[in-house]
Chains A and B, each alone.
Chain A
Amino acid sequence: MKPVNFDYYRPDTVDEAVDLLAEHGEEARVIAGGQSLMALLNLRLAEPRALIDIAHLAELSYCRDSDTHMEIGAAVTQAQLLAQPGLAEAVPLLAQALPHVGHFQTRNRGTVCGSLAHGDPSSELPLCLATLEGEVVLRSKRGERVLKASEFQVGLLATAREPDELVVAARYPLKQPRAGYAFTEVARRHGDFAIVSLAAVAENGTLRLGVGGVADRPAAREWQIAPDQADDALNEFAWALGGEDDIHATARYRRDIVRKLGRKVLEEAAACAS
């Protein structure tokens, strides 16, 4: 239950961090809040030769709104985002989902971008990014690129980040004027990993549902339909996600949650839409 030996680097700038990644590549891991990575290190599921700490980088400690999205730097913790004034008006889905992310004690250190980079299929923040069709900003010595959520997360704990790239920011689209948003999840205890998590957007007669915890990554579907007509579509989506039995729940139970809570969360989103 102790990490392997590694060299610890504390770069002073993003450029230095990116240089270190170019030098060490797959042998390196980036640590920000460490709320997923430290557990992996302690369990020796991750055995990096170099650990690059970006938590203190002022360049990455910002939240700013553009015309279309809120950009969240890689050093911003989940607690800082939750305390951001006006979050519920700017990105209502994040305001609803963040209290479900880990616990009070882990949100104090865990970062938004760290959760995206970790890519747990049941995590709330990747689900919100996928449902809202947000983006991830990556930087390396070769330059900067922006990936859509669906391009970024490619599987279970797997992303399209190249070994020399640093996740520098996440972009969550701002609330659309007439849209409604809702979030819910099923977990054994509040704060535990979700068995199934659901995020919904209702806008102009279009319903969009994102589901986490069933497939190997968050998945979203969109329908031109009213919530009370959505049962067949939800059933088809529930089967298409291809969930499997595991120690937490059966595949059948997961499909049931998608069907029943899916409809409920869509109704909640539609009720908030105007």
Chain B
Amino acid sequence: MRKLSQGERHRVSFTLNGKPVSSWAEPRMLLTDFIRQELGETGTHVGCEHGICGACTVRLDGEAVRACLCLAVQAEGRAVDTVEGLAEHGGPLSALQQAFRKHHALQCGYCTPGILMSLSDLFEREPHPDDEQLRDVVGGHLCRCTGYAGIMAAAREVAGMAKKAE
């Protein structure tokens, strides 16, 4: 059994976007704060901090989850993927990111990293999702700018592109 005492910082190590990382966290530290403040990757955004808005969505062992509803210490030894890992730094954007740009699927961009991580999980599980599946996944995010039309258009294009590539 492992006990991590309150008020003390404990070593937390996991794989972030394919690279091993390590830093220190108190038991109560949220994964969002650990990624942003300890690891310095600020693409993961903090919105409501109680699991409603979806801005902080990351992938934990491949599955899209709310990073604000996860403790940093719970990510120990696991694989965490954030928006920074979707494209090589300075390299071309992923197909999903390119579709977001083309269809104006963002305005202020605050919700965008979370939506990209959710959709990237869906497209890996199901390359040809139907509208209902897309709506189910996008429905887990609040976007106050776009009215979702651009987001859905971008997601549909990726679903369609995947079909053509068969």
Instruction: List residues of A whose CB falls within 8 A of some B CB.
Output: 1-12, 16, 34-35, 38-39, 41-43, 51, 53, 55, 79, 99, 103-106, 108-109, 189-191
Contacts and interface: CB of A to CB of B under 8 A. Distances in A.
Interface string B104-143: 0000000000000010001000000000000111011000
B7 interface: yes
A2 B28 contact: yes
A10 B140 contact: no
Interface stretch (B50-58, B85-93, B154-162): B50-58
Given A9-B2, A53-B74, A105-B57, A38 B27 contact: no
B136 A8 contact: no
Nearest to B54: A105
Contacts of A189: 139
Instruction: Classify the secondary structure of B's interface with A.
Output: mixed
A271 B4 CA distance: 55
B91 to A, nearest CB: 27
B65 A105 contact: yes
Contact of B73 (A8, A11, A79, A190): A8
Contacts of B33: 2
Given A1-B50, A104-B137, A79 B1 contact: no
Contacts of B26: 5
A5 B136 contact: no
B95 interface: no
Given A1-B50, A2-B33, 15 more contacts: A5-B7, A6-B27, A8-B4, A9-B2, A10-B2, A34-B70, A34-B71, A34-B74, A43-B50, A99-B136, A103-B140, A108-B60, A109-B66, A190-B135, A190-B136
A62 to B, nearest CB: 19
A191 B28 contact: no
Contacts of B65: 105-106, 108-109
Contact of B140 (A8, A16, A105): A105
Contact of A2 (B4, B30, B64): B30
B39 to A, nearest CB: 18
A103 B50 contact: no
Contacts of B57: 105
